[in-house]
């Protein structure tokens, strides 16, 4: 059991999303996890109890929608009403009808796009005040995952939204199948660690520690969470290689042995053929450029105005949301000493998280803000336009006016956060800022 002293204190309950395509094995993993002591205090939201093997581990029936396992894990049937289930959990815990909930895991259906689920969590004011999006874990089958990525856009969106990737059924896959899948996953989401799962079992702490609110004493490394090293390596590979297609990857370490599905051709050969066919099709398309997964890093050498940054990135997400698979960053906000962690998935901005201090080691010890972008189908001109927009951030006063009439701004959850608002004629002192009372005055 994870004791209270081992948990990182948070002001809101962290929520992990467990997703994966049909047949990926996520329910098998969940059946293993719910009976472990590490899941004490964790509430698992599922659509139906019948899919989770809880019959012989039931300790108490709280009501027709809630059961308590002997591990201390609380299973809840949300019956399609995610917001209602989260509200019910919060209200019953506040009335002490159930034990305090320390974390929530939401299992999505196999065809679910995780982005709307994340959006829903942040749109309801009651839920957003009590729960915080922590991380997304995506389960991918080693035997069928590669074909699913080729054929189903839902599988691709689940992978690019992930903070952690579980590769299941590794005991049933050939080395060639596993290696080819790892190459594809790394190109789609180079910042997400990959865990190989055999016999449907893995450590529950891997899931509980994949996001910013770690269930262990050691929170994830910022450099590792941002995946900056992996992204830089991916960008270098992409510059050096001439590979085309929306999945870019080197086949140098993909074995050429036949797989076991009767296709009759080496797996690496079929992978190249599929990639080349997509490249040929894309060259005939109207875009005029070859689509691919790219990554780039934007560095801010000076503190940034929070509202100006929020509005500018919000406009970037509005314009390129479907192409921006992930945006992660550590931001030095003007007027504060504590950095803000931000992340966005395909046009959806997570509420930011405040760190107590800047890291003393690693690439962030210089106190500079960094944004890491993973994008698809962005041409060089679009990337340069994004860089230029972030290099010319408006003042907070101008940003307030810009955002006043934009109710659909993706980053409006950031605008509601309490941050210093710095007017252009403010006086900076060593310990504070002095600014005019009327912020909305002329700039």
CATH number of the domain residue 414 falls in = 3.30.1220.10
- Across the chain, mean pLDDT equals 75
Considering only 7-21, 23-37, 246-260, 306-320, which range has the smallest mean pLDDT?
A: 246-260
Average pLDDT estimate for 261-266: 48
Specify the CATH number for the domain of residue 104: 3.40.50.300
Whether 79 and 206 map to the same domain: the answer is: yes
Looking at residue 224, what is its pLDDT?
A: 61
pLDDT tier, 214 (very low <50, low <70, confident <90, very high otherwise): low
Please report whether residue 287 resides in a domain.
Answer: no
Please give the average per-residue pLDDT across 335-362, as a whole number. Answer: 83
Listed in sequence order, the residues at least 6 apart from 24 whose beta carbon sits closer than 8 Å to its beta carbon are 110, 139, 140, 141, 144, 145, 168
3-state secondary structure of 166: strand
Start-end of H helices in 131-266:
145-151, 153-160, 175-188, 204-208, 222-226, 228-240
Number of domains comprising the chain:
2
* Cβ(131)–Cβ(121) below 8 Å: yes
Neighbouring residues of 399: CB distance < 8 A, sequence distance ≥ 6? 305, 307, 308, 310, 311, 312
Please tell me the distance from the alpha carbon of residue 383 to that of residue 238, in angstroms, as a whole number: 15
Q: Which of 265, 312, 296 is nearest to 414 (CA)?
A: 312
Residue 317: predicted pLDDT: 93
Using the structure block, give the residue that is written with the tokens 């009759």. 264
Residue 259 counted as domain residue: no
- Give the confidence band of 259 by pLDDT, cuts at 50, 70, 90: very low
pLDDT of residue 79: 65
The boundaries of the domain holding residue 121 are: 4-220
Same domain, 189 and 320: no
CB atoms within 10 A of CB 318: 14
Lowest mean pLDDT: which of 120-134, 140-154, 324-338, 349-363?
349-363
Q: Which residues contact 200 (CB under 8 A, 6 or more apart)?
A: 25, 28, 29, 31, 32, 168
Give φ, ψ of 143 to 5 degrees. Answer: -90, -30
Domain assignment present for residue 309? The answer is: yes
- Mean pLDDT is lowest, of 60-69, 269-278, 284-293, for 284-293
Does 238 fall in a domain? no
Task: Say if 244 falls within a structural domain.
Answer: no
Top mean pLDDT of 180-194, 289-303, 349-363, 419-433 is at: 180-194
Identify the residue whose tokens are 């995952």.
Answer: 145
Q: In terms of Cα–Cα distance, which of 180, 132, 169, 127 is closest to 16?
A: 132
Tell me the mean pLDDT in the region 149-166. Answer: 89
């Amino acid at each position: 059991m994870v004791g209270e002293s081992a948990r990182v204190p948070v002001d809101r309950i962290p929520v992990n999303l467990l997703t994966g395509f049909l047949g990926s094995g996520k329910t098998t993993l969940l059946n293993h996890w719910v009976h472990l002591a590490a899941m004490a205090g964790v509430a698992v939201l599922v659509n139906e109890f019948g899919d989770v093997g809880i019959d012989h581990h039931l300790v108490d029936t709280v009501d027709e929608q809630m059961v308590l396992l002997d591990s201390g894990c609380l299973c809840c049937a949300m019956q399609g009403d995610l917001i209602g289930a989260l509200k019910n959990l919060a209200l019953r815990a506040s009335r002490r009808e159930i034990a305090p909930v320390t974390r929530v895991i939401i299992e999505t259906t196999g065809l679910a796009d995780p982005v709307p689920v994340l959006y829903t969590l942040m749109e309801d004011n009651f839920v957003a005040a009590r729960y915080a999006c922590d991380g997304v874990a995506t389960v991918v089958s080693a035997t069928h995952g590669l074909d699913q990525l080729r054929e189903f856009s839902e599988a691709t969106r689940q992978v690019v939204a992930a903070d952690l990737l579980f590769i299941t059924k590794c005991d049933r896959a050939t080395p060639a199948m596993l290696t080819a899948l790892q190459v594809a996953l790394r190109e789609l989401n180079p910042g997400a660690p990959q865990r190989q799962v055999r016999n449907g079992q893995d450590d529950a702490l891997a899931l509980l520690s994949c996001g910013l609110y770690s269930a262990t004493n050691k929170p994830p490394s910022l450099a590792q969470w941002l995946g900056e090293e992996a992204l830089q390596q991916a960008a270098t590979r992409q510059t050096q290689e001439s590979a085309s297609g929306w999945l870019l990857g080197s086949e140098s370490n993909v074995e050429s042995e036949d797989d076991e599905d009767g296709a009759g051709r080496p797996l690496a050969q079929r992978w190249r053929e599929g990639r080349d066919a997509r490249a040929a099709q894309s060259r005939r398309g109207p875009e005029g450029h070859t689509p691919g997964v790219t990554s780039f890093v934007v560095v801010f050498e000076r503190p940034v105005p929070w509202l100006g940054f929020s509005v500018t990135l919000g406009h970037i997400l509005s314009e390129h949301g479907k192409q921006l698979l992930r945006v992660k960053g550590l931001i030095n906000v003007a007027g504060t000493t504590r950095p803000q962690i931000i992340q966005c998935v395909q046009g959806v901005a997570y509420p930011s998280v405040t760190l107590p201090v800047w890291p003393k080691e690693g690439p962030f010890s210089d106190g500079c803000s960094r944004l890491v972008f993973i994008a698809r189908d962005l041409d060089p001109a679009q990337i340069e336009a994004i860089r230029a927009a972030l290099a010319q951030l408006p003042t907070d006063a101008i940003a307030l006016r810009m955002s006043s009439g934009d109710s659909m701004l993706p980053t409006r959850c950031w605008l509601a956060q309490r941050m210093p608002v710095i007017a252009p004629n403010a006086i900076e002192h060593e310990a504070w800022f002095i600014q005019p009372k009327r912020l909305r005055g002329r700039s």
